[in-house]
Amino acid sequence: MIKKLMKIGNSQALVIDKQTLAQMGVQEDEEVQVSLHGQQLVVTPVRPRIPDADLRKSLDRIARKYDSVFRKLAE
């Protein structure tokens, strides 16, 4: 797809259509990370990171709850 930059104040803007945002899994007003790789502009959705302690608690809870199921699957 080819897009055209638009002047907004002293800057240039690139408008991303709804369909492209939906394919990226990005909603209106969500943050995206913009980075350069050579001359390529890369737009990546910012996803919240689960803190390690919270992840560990969740995994421990799942392991306790489904211990018997995991053991049967391992047989």
Cβ-contact 44, 33 below 8 angstroms: yes
Tell me the DSSP string of the chain. -----EEETTEEE----HHHHHHHT--TT--EEEEEETTEEEEEE--PPPPHHHHHHHHHHHHHHTHHHHHHHH-
To the nearest whole number, what is the mean pLDDT of the chain? 91
pLDDT at 32 > cutoff 80 = yes
pLDDT score, position 36? 96
pLDDT at 52 > cutoff 90 = no
pLDDT at 50 > cutoff 80 = no
pLDDT at 49 > cutoff 80 = no
Residue ranges of domains in the chain, CATH in brackets: 6-45 (2.10.260)
Mean pLDDT within 9-22: 93
